[in-house]
Structure 1
């Protein structure tokens, strides 16, 4: 399987897992709080649904050989979804995420390898695997936002985790180094499922070094945790009641400080 094949398969699995819940949500469930700050369940689904509609349009325009839509298209989509009822938002989530997933699945082997999609906010058109991986990350995090509201032990979809790791090299836009209050440290991070090891440099800017600082004179401490928990940490989704008991942290930086450095998005 190509990289695009793996990501698209994970997209299907993640969508169907969330869709199974959504089809059984009543009005009270949709109005309930999610793990996404200031959004109820329906608003999370609206965000995922409108994003799926926009990405479906983007991919289809590329396939049709047409230029990318202007910003008015996105604004109109968001306005329509924002004005919809909770039940309409839930139903629209199902419709548009099925459309987007099916569209990715319909791409030929040649398209999966060679198609380049103009997103408008990247320096160059991106390949299918990259675009699908970006969507997978958004779907996976927000699926967790929905599921964890009623299940504190919820974890990110296992099929998505290895793919999401490929999007975590640039931390500059999701970190607040000011919350270190001048403290500096290097942590060796070791994850499980999958097993990875790298260095987290807590400074301004916060950065990742793929080479672990395995010498005592280079590392100030260590962080060991499941890979999905690392992904939730850097996305601001590792609150105390959602932290696994297997997490181990040594060194001068506390877990509460790490949570402040990665406040979420």
Structure 2
């Protein structure tokens, strides 16, 4: 349960960071580009706001053990947010996000222990539910912050949890390419992985064995690589041996 509480605390910290970054934005800034080139900052915030409402439905379903919300409910939420003007998207996103975080924080110990949440990949416990939201939230908060501060990094408290959650995403996010098995060493937090490339992409704990290359970088930077956000302009020092970093970036174009 300690892990659940630490993840909830990280989700709160990510919300607080988003509010610090987004609340002072001017109308011109919210209409400016976000890191994803197809979205404005307002649209990034709208995505977080609508996501908070959708996760609120999933939270209620898991706690109350009622049927999972239907896709029509999600589409209705997206339609409402898409119809808002940019100023409302930016302001309302912070309020919607705050409500979700507060509702997660208000769960009793019994609810934290017993709730089962209907996520897109199947039933999950609260730790996984929070990790899913944190992975989206921390990365999209960076999408906003980096447009104001090119040196911005993903919230440190979120990095370990998001990397753990990302193990289940890389198979969907990674594009097929030449086969390889890269030994990845990350720091802060320290960990070692096997990044498996080819027709199917996977991220596994490092257990030794064959390798086609080695990659050493901060954990925060590796997280952004997997999420398609480690372009040359936003890369720290990376040690790559027999690894084409640009080719690796193309494997993970982002989502």
TM-score normalised by the chain length of structure 2: 0.95
**Any conservation in 1 of the 2:34–2:143 contact (CA below 8 Å)?**
yes
Per-residue deviation, residues 44-101 of structure 1 (Å, max 9, x unmatched):
0000000001111221233344322222211111001001011111121111111000
The 3-state SS of whatever aligns with 1:118 is strand
- After TM superposition, the structure 1 = structure 2 runs for residues 1-265 of structure 1, keeping only pairs within 5 Å, are 2-119=2-119, 121-123=120-122, 125-170=123-168, 171-177=170-176, 180=177, 183-213=178-208, 218-244=210-236, 246-251=237-242, 253-265=243-255
Distance in 1 (alpha carbons) for counterparts of 2:128 and 2:203? 20
Cα distance, 1:116–1:65 mapped onto 2, change above 3 Å: closer
CA RMSD of aligned residues (A): 1.4
Per-residue deviation, residues 220-259 of structure 1 (Å, max 9, x unmatched):
2210000010010011000000010x211011x3110000
CA drift of 1:109 comes to: 1.4
CA drift of 1:186 comes to: 2.0
**Greater gyration radius:** 1
CA drift of 1:212 comes to: 4.1
Distance in 2 (alpha carbons) for counterparts of 1:13 and 1:107? 17
Distance in 2 (alpha carbons) for counterparts of 1:156 and 1:90? 20
The 3-state SS of whatever aligns with 2:29 is helix
Distance in 1 (alpha carbons) for counterparts of 2:65 and 2:196? 43
Distance in 1 (alpha carbons) for counterparts of 2:191 and 2:57? 36
CA drift of 1:166 comes to: 1.4
Cα distance, 1:64–1:199 mapped onto 2, change above 3 Å: closer
TM-score normalised by the chain length of structure 1: 0.92
**Any conservation in 2 of the 1:36–1:142 contact (CA below 8 Å)?**
no
The 3-state SS of whatever aligns with 2:215 is strand
CA drift of 1:42 comes to: 0.2
Gaps of 5+ in 2: none
Distance in 2 (alpha carbons) for counterparts of 1:66 and 1:209? 34
Deviates more, 1:6-15 or 1:196-205: 196-205
CA drift of 1:104 comes to: 0.4
